[in-house]
Amino acid sequence: MNKLNKLSIKSKDIAKSTESQKQEKQIEVLANLLYQKAKQDKQDKVYASAKTVLSLLGMGATLAAAFAIPKTAPALINTFWKEENEWKKWKQFNLGYLLQTLRRLQKQKLVEIKDINGKQRITITQKGKTKILEYAVDELEITKSKAWDKKWRVIVYDIPNRKKYLQELIRETLKNLGFFAIQESVYIIPYPCYKEIEFLREYYHVGPYIKYLLVDKLEDDSVYKTYFGL
């Protein structure tokens, strides 16, 4: 293999590693946002929903593998749990509900047992990380600014007809986020939303097909102002 080929392969490996690190960071950030939102739900603090448990694991929290063993006695787990530093992150949950959720997640292959620093730990799988992204899409929302900055955010997409399912997904997602359609593939909103659009681009793999425009003036925008209550 010549030097040029070796350099090409090395460059591709570096690019893959950088992209993987970027995705891991995105998962961690999204998991933290989901967890912070779930903390506001008093019931969720007790019942240990799959979304909250995956979010904690996605943030980097770990848990002793004993929690995933079907016949481990809760009393034994409770004793072991309190001897571990990690239990502080999980003590908010009812132990019985947490056990049920973890075992269900393991059955669905969203979590797995791994050896970390010589200890068996429950960690999130790649499938579990994908689930976090799905949760993030469901939870995605655009915050309404208290004062309008007089700028319009215009989203234009041109997705090939062979990907009609993506056209429909993007259309429905934009509508659910509160965008207003001014043409078939052109939507507007007066609130900052660049990060949310970037997330959708990456999640649906439609980066080349979606354009984000920041516009100072739209002709005949009085109807849009009325729609958004501006």
Q: What is the rounded distance in angstroms from the CA atom of residue 129 to the CA atom of residue 197?
A: 20
Q: What is the rounded distance in angstroms from the CA atom of residue 212 to the CA atom of residue 125?
A: 33
Residues 97 and 158 in one domain: no
Contact 203, 170 (CB under 8 A): no
Of 67, 53, 71, nearest in space to 124 by CA:
53
Q: What is the rounded distance in angstroms from the CA atom of residue 96 to the CA atom of residue 140?
A: 30
Residues 149 and 69 in one domain: no
Residues 97 and 166 in one domain: no
CATH number for 189: 3.30.70.240
pTM of the model: 0.67
Q: Structurally, how many domains does the chain consist of?
A: 2
Q: Of the given ranges (73-87, 165-179, 192-206), which has the lowest mean pLDDT?
A: 73-87
Contact 102, 122 (CB under 8 A): yes
Predicted local confidence at residue 20, as pLDDT: 60
Residues 34 and 131 in one domain: yes
What are the C-alpha distances in Å from 101 to residues 12, 36, 92, 219? 39, 19, 14, 53
Per-residue pLDDT for 67 more than 50? yes
Q: 211 pLDDT band (50/70/90 cuts)?
A: very high
Q: For residue 36, give its domain range.
A: 3-136
Residues 131 and 148 in one domain: no
